[in-house]
Amino acid sequence: MIDMTLAEIAEAMSGTLVLGADGSTAETIVRGISQTDSREVGPGQIFFARRGEETDGHRFAAQAVDAGAALLVVEREVDDRVPQIVVAEATDALGALATEVVRRVRGRGNLTIVGITGSNGKTTTKNLIGAMAERVGATVASEKSFNNEVGGPLTMLRVDDDTRTLVAEMGASAKGEISRLTAMAPPHIGVVLTVGLAHAGEFGGIETTFRTKSEMVQDLPETAVAVLNRDDAYVSKMAELTSARVRWFGLHPEADVRATDIESSAEGTRFTIHADGESLPVFFRVLGEHHVTNALAAAAVGLELGLPLADVVASLEGATRAARWRMEVMGGRDHITIINDAYNASPDSMAAGLRTLAQIARPEGRTVAVLGAMSELGEYSIEEHIRIGLQAVRLRISELVVVGAEARHLHISAINEGSWDGESVFFEDQDSAFEYLERTLRPEDTVLVKSSNAAGLRLLGDRLGEAFA
């Protein structure tokens, strides 16, 4: 974070400064990063005591001070050992401070802000763009999947006067949340990847998802660039909603940055990238043809940042995985490959994962799909789990291992398709599934582990990866 005095921080968040027993004054400078988890606070940092659904950060303020916090942002006074800023609402104060920090750094003219939204692929694309931006200069990118009203501001507060690029995921579970994030850090480049059924239960349908994801491009000024997926019908419609210059990516022949000659294998994906009159071959080690779209989105941003296409390709070829628990290749013993892709799952990404499994399997081995529930689908949940079960059968996946009661419809659907006889098995818990797989996996098998984060199958994937390392 940039240097700011206690008085300036209090003014930015419309709070009341209460000095502590440590001798600080209103002109004392604070430069530490911000935290909302007292267990992660370090010396000189700011602790925001947020109230959540299950706990209250004020209960852990003393722990934060013991860990070295230099400032507490609170809704009531709690610990007089260090300065406190009393605010009406701590989460709003976090956003207000992020807005002011970004405004100051951006005003100095050296900061480019890249915002990324979409139903699938945000984290992968963010990581790819972050690597490209590092070639331009110091870069701050969202950690993990920090893309909401808390994670977004925490990322933004990490920028300082040396930062050249801020790469921020901008997610949403309700209308207006993306607009709130873009108001804090107005993008120079806004990327929209897909509009799908991820979080459909919270949004209330794909049309509402479209309107919500459109908030980013609607908020872009004429001087900005909208990087849009030409292959997605809903994203394509967003070109009509923005005054920014549009740069298309995708497989469509009209895309400004496009790919041809795509070939997938267990080692990665080969394709030819075309942009600005140039064409170059790419060997992209991230598994899955669906990640080519994310690579093209990142390439479009890299070119907008001023990188030549050769540097863009070099950056893509340097990526070895999408992110932790995203198409992460593990295992290896007896040529058994474990693909752990169980951090997020939507109908689109689940279908893409199954297609990848079918494409990259060794001819002498089996394909085994270990699937758990897709969360946040609301009224679409049963229908979409049934559809994935049907797809697994139609792709001729050798065996389906379904884990968890919330995914049972997926198992029943595969059985009812009628083309299998015992190739779909169901387990209530991960331990039972692990014991079964440890006993039955054969040399040359390729295994996909896929579920939403809430289902926790990423941990099962890790266990399998270790067991067959």
DSSP calls for 271-295: EEEEETTEEEEEEE-S--THHHHHH
Q: What confidence tens digit (pLDDT) does each residue in 165-191 have?
A: 999 998 876 788 899 999 999 999 999
Name residue, tokens 């209103």: 26
**Structure tokens given for 431:** 């331990």
**Structure tokens given for 322:** 């999408």
Give the integer Cα–Cα distance in Å for 172 and 47. Answer: 24
Rounded alpha-carbon distances, angstroms, from residue 268 to 159, 216, 262, 395: 34, 32, 11, 20
The rounded percent of the chain whose pLDDT value lies above 70 is 95
**Structure tokens given for 153:** 């501001």
- pLDDT at 111 > cutoff 90: yes
Q: What integer best gives the mean pLDDT of the chain?
A: 91
Note the pTM of the prediction, 2 decimals.
Answer: 0.84
Residue positions forming the annotated binding site = 118-124
Burial letters 81-120, b for 16+ CB under 10 A, else e? ebbbbbbeebbebbbbbbbbbbebbbeeeebbbbbbbbbb
Between 129-143, 266-280, 345-359, the lowest mean confidence (pLDDT) is in 345-359
Between 14-28, 90-104, 170-184, the lowest mean confidence (pLDDT) is in 170-184
DSSP letters of 151-188? Answer: HHHHHHTT--TT--EEEEE---SSTTHHHHHHHHS--S
- pLDDT at 203 > cutoff 90: no
Give the integer Cα–Cα distance in Å for 349 and 362. Answer: 22
- pLDDT at 197 > cutoff 80: no
**What superfamily in CATH does domain 328-467 come from?**
Mur ligase, C-terminal domain (3.90.190.20)
- pLDDT at 198 > cutoff 60: no
Give the integer Cα–Cα distance in Å for 216 and 199. Answer: 17
Between 48-57, 134-143, 280-289, 363-372, the lowest mean confidence (pLDDT) is in 48-57
**What superfamily in CATH does domain 110-317 come from?**
Mur-like, catalytic domain (3.40.1190.10)
Residue positions forming the annotated binding site for ATP = 118-124
Task: List the one residue out of 258, 221, 214, 259 whose CA is nearest residue 239.
Answer: 214
Give the model's pLDDT for residue 18: 97
The H or E element that residue 90 is part of is helix 90-107
Between 139-143, 278-282, 346-350, 375-379, the lowest mean confidence (pLDDT) is in 375-379
Between strands 139-141 and 328-331, the pairing is: unpaired
Give the model's pLDDT for residue 31: 86
CATH number for the region 4-88 comes to 3.40.1390.10
Give the model's pLDDT for residue 323: 62
Domain ranges of the chain: 4-88, 110-317, 328-467
Name residue, tokens 């070895």: 320
pLDDT band of residue 227 (cuts 50, 70, 90) is very high
